[in-house]
């Protein structure tokens, strides 16, 4: 909602820039999508590595 209100304010102040932002937003979103996917994948791999390294400690706590 805040994004829409800021865009509406930009539309009132400078309508060509607001229209340009409206057109370019999906293009920029599509260009940044691979970086988001890589970030999700790297986060998942790091979580998996952390779980593997902490598994013996968690098992030892559960047994003791």
pLDDT category at 62 given cuts 50, 70, 90 is: confident
pTM value? 0.61
By C-alpha distance, which of 19, 24, 23, 18 is closest to 6? 18
| Residue 63: CB atoms within 10 Å | 6
φ, ψ for residue 39, nearest 5 deg: -65, -40
How do the domains of the chain map onto residue ranges?
2-63
**pLDDT given at position 32:** 96
pLDDT at position 11 is 92
6-22 pLDDT, tens digit each: 999 999 999 999 999 99
Quick: pLDDT tens for 18-55.
999 999 999 999 999 999 999 999 999 999 999 999 99
């Amino acid at each position: 909602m805040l994004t829409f209100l800021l865009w509406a304010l930009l539309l009132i102040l400078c309508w060509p820039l607001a229209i340009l932002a409206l057109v370019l937003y999906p293009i920029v979103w599509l260009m940044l999508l691979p970086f988001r996917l890589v970030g999700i994948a790297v986060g998942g791999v790091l979580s998996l590595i952390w779980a593997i390294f902490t598994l013996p400690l968690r098992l030892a706590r559960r047994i003791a």
